Amino acid sequence: MIELLSATRCVACDACVKVCPTNVFDAVDDAPPRIARQADCQTCFMCELYCPTDALFVSPEADGPSAVQETELSARGALGSYRAAVGWGQGQKPGARSDASYRVLSLVAAPELPPRKQPQQEQA
């Protein structure tokens, strides 16, 4: 779910208000938008892709809110990481150009292997 709209990064362009497919944000006059309906967030990450200043962070936790820290997210480069992965940042090459599905889809389509018999001794 959407967890952060950074007031320091936001330029109040209201792109997120416009593009969010589930209408999570409300525009505010002369100020950053506000996360008005967090529970309606469907964790699709689209707002991050359209945010020109990487001011948004969507946590992967889809079923409820979770705590995040802007300084920590910023320090580990999480803000804007998805936009970079998709190649939508300024001067970047669109990720679709390097879509390597052609190396993967034929393997995915191959018949399923029988499940492994040997236990993997590894815990999550």
Partner 1 sequence: MHDGQAPFASGPGLSDDSLQLRADVLVLGGGPAGTWAAWSAAQSGARVVLADKGYCGTSGATAPSGTGVWYVPPDAQAREEARASREAMGGYLADRRWMDRVLDQTHENVDRLAAWGYPFPTDDAGESYRRSLQGPEYMRLMRKRVKAAGVTILDHSPALELLTHDGEVVGAAGIQRQTGVRWSARAGAVVIATGGCAFLSRALGCNVLTGDGGLFAAEVGAQLSGMEFSNAYGLGPAFASVTKSAFYRFATFYYADGRPIEGAGSARGRSIIAKTLLEQPVYACLDQVPEGVRDSLRAAQPNFFLPFDRRGIDPLTQHFPVTLRLEGTVRGTGGIRIASEACGTSVPGLFAAGDAATRELICGGFTGGGSHNAAWAMSSGYWSGQGAAAHAQQLGEHAHARTAVPAGRASLRPDRDAHTLDPEALTRAVQDEVFPYERNLFRTDKQLTESLARLDSLWQEAQARPAQNARDVLRGRESAAMTAIARFMYTSARARTETRGMHKHLDHPAQDPTQQHRLICQGLERIQVEVEPVQHSALQPVAAAL
> Which positions lie near partner 1, rule CB under 8 A?
17-23, 40, 42-46, 49-50, 59-63, 78, 81-82, 85-86, 88, 94-105, 107-108, 112-113, 115-124
Smallest distance, partner 1 to C-beta of residue 17, A: 8
Task: Using the minimum distance from each CB to partner 1, give the nearer residue, 10 or 20.
Answer: 20
Task: Using the minimum distance from each CB to partner 1, give the nearer residue, 67 or 100.
Answer: 100
Smallest distance, partner 1 to C-beta of residue 91, A: 15
Task: Using the minimum distance from each CB to partner 1, give the nearer residue, 30 or 102.
Answer: 102
Residues 97-114, buried b or exposed e (16+ Cβ, 10 A)?
eeeeeeeeeeeeeeeeee
Using CA atoms, how far apart are residues 124 and 122, in angstroms rounded to an integer?
7
Smallest distance, partner 1 to C-beta of residue 11, A: 19
Smallest distance, partner 1 to C-beta of residue 72, A: 12
